[in-house]
A and B are shown apart, each in its own frame.
Chain A
C-alpha cells in the first residue's frame, strides 16, 4: 500500500431523495486508494445511485463527496477525475473502436493519441478490432472496449456499473478474472456495483452490502460470509440456517441458548446482538459447516458439538456435494451441504438424523429483525 491517498473516495453524509422517496439514506463510506470495492445489493437498493453521485451524474441531496483531498460534490462529471464503465457499455455507435477509446483523450485536448490508444487496445486484447464499429463486436469485446475507454484516461477512480450483467455465465467468469488482473496491473481504485454476490465476493477486497438505501454491513468477503451482522446479509450472501433461541446462561466466553428442547452454544464474540438471560437471539449456521449423522449413530458424536435432531425431507445430488433439506422442530427447512466423500446410504428422505457442528461456526443475530430479510430479494433477482 502506498501512502498516496489521491484515489481515496470519501462519502460523508451523502443522501439522495426523489420527492418523498429516499433512494440513499445519509451514508458514510471511505474507499481507500487502490482497492477493489464492491457495492452489493438487490435492484433498487441505492447502489447505482451512490455510484452515479460519485461520477457526478446525480446531484446528492445532502452530504459531500471527496476524491483524495479534493471536494467534488458540485463538480459536473466532465470535470471529475473519475470514469465510468456503464451498464450495457454505452459505446458511441457512430465512432469506431479506436475513436471510442480516444474520446476522453481528445476532449482533454491531447493531440497525439495513437500510441496510447494502441497500447490500451493491446491491454484489453482488441488491437485487431480498432477500425470496427461497436455493433460489429461481440458482447465480451464491447465490454472490454468500455473498460479501455474509461481506463485510458488514468482516472483516480474507475466506477463499474453492473459491467458484466449482459454477458453469459462463462464469459462473466472470464471477465471477472480479467478485470481483477487489470485492476492489479494499473492499481487504480475500482468501485464495482453488482447484484451478484458471487461476483462481488470473487473480485472485491471489500464489499459493502446495501439494502433499502443503507449499507447493512461492510467488510472483506470472508468477514461478511463468516460473521454476518444482520439477517439480510446472512441470507443475501449465500444461505444461512436461522434458529430462534432463548438465552439460558453464560459460561465463560460462551453463551448457552435454548432452542426447542436442546441446548446450543454460541461464542459471545460472534454474537452481534445484546444478550440478557431470557432474551431472544437468532442463531445462524452456514449449511456447509454442518455434519449429518444417522440417529442410530448419535452416540459417536463428540460431546462439545452443537446438535439438533430432525428428519430428512429432501436430498439432491449436485456432484461435488449433496444438498439436504432437514425437517426439524426448531427450524422447518434446515439446509445442509455435505461433501460427497463417504456417503452414508442410510441418509435418504425420511431418515431420522442428528445435525451437529462446531460451536465456533455459530453466529448470533438480533432477534428483532425479519428472519427472511434478503431471501426474497435473491429470488426476485433470479426470476
Chain B
C-alpha cells in the first residue's frame, strides 16, 4: 500500500498544512474580495477584478473617520492598560499587602465575565454617574478589560525573574532608578510587549462593550457592523487586508532582526 505509507510518513506535514489553510482562508477571501467590483451594494459575489477600492480607500462616507477613532482608542487604551497593568503586576509579585489575594483573583474577573454582561453593567454605571457617552467612556471601558491581560502577561514574567539580578545591579553601583531602567524593565519587556500587543488587538476589534457605551461615537467595528445591514463597501476589505499586511510585516521584521542578532553572536 504505497499510498497509505506515503500518507503515514507525511501525516504531520499534511495536518500542519490543513490547519494553516483553515487559519488563513478567511484572510485570503478578505484579500481577494478587496479587488472585487461588486454589482449592487453587497460585496458577497465575485464579479470582476478591479483596484478601484485600493485607489480610494476612504471613498466611503465616515469609514476612515471611524477607523481613526478606533486607532486612537486602541493606542490610548494600550498605553493606559500597559502602564497600569505593569505596575499592578509588580505590586502583586513583589509586595505583601493586605488585600493582595483578593486583588489577585479580582483582576481575572474581566477575562471571565461574559462581555455583554460587563457592557450592560458599565452602561448602567456610566448613566448613573451622568457621564457623557463617547470617546472617553469607550476608552475607560477598554482600559479596564485590557488590564487583566497585561497583568497576567507581565506577572508571569516578573515571577520568573531572579531577585538576585536586581541585587547584583545595586551591588554594581546602580541606584534604584537605574536598576529599574537597566535591569528590571528590560527583563520584563517581553511580558510587557506581549500584554501591549494583546491590548491593542482586543481594543481595536472590540464590538460589544463599545457598542453599549459609545453614545453617538462610531468605531471601525461598529461601522462595519452597521454598514453590513445596508451594504458592504469593498473598502472594508481594503482596510482589513491592510491591517493584516501591517501585522504580518511587523512579525517578519522582528523575526529578521532577531535572526540577524543571533547570527552576529554565533
Contact = CB atoms under 8 A, between A and B. Distances in A.
B121 interface: no
A104 interface: yes
Interface in A69-111: 76-79, 82-84, 86-88, 90-94, 96, 103-104, 107-108
B173 interface: yes
B186 to A, nearest CB: 5
Query: Most chain-B CB neighbours within 10 Å: which of A77, A86, A149, A153?
Result: A77
Contacts of B178: 107
Nearest to B165: A90
Contact of B172 (A57, A88, A93, A104): A104
Given A93-B187, A94-B187, A96-B265, A78 B170 contact: yes
B168 A86 contact: yes
Contacts of B187: 92-94
B183 interface: yes
Contact of B174 (A83, A87, A107, A150): A107
Given A77-B167, A88-B164, A94-B187, A83 B265 contact: no
B265 A133 contact: yes
B175 to A, nearest CB: 5
B162 interface: yes
Interface residues of A, number: 30
Contacts of B168: 84, 86, 90-92
Nearest to B183: A92
Interface residues of B, number: 20
Contacts of A56: 170-171
Nearest to A146: B168
Nearest to A149: B172
Contacts of B182: 103, 107
A189 B186 CA distance: 33
Nearest to A79: B173
A132 B265 contact: yes
Query: Most chain-A CB neighbours within 10 Å: which of B167, B168, B170, B175?
Result: B168
Nearest to B164: A90
B169 to A, nearest CB: 7
A17 interface: no
A92 B188 CA distance: 12
B45 interface: no
21 contacts: A56-B170, A78-B172, A83-B172, A84-B171, A86-B167, A86-B171, A88-B162, A88-B164, A90-B165, A90-B167, A91-B168, A92-B169, A93-B165, A93-B187, A103-B169, A104-B172, A107-B174, A108-B173, A131-B264, A133-B265, A149-B172
> Which 8 pairs, one residue from A and one from B, show the smallest C-beta to C-beta distance?
A104-B172, A90-B164, A107-B173, A90-B168, A77-B170, A94-B186, A107-B174, A84-B171
Interface of B: 162, 164-165, 167-175, 178, 182-183, 186-187, 189, 264-265
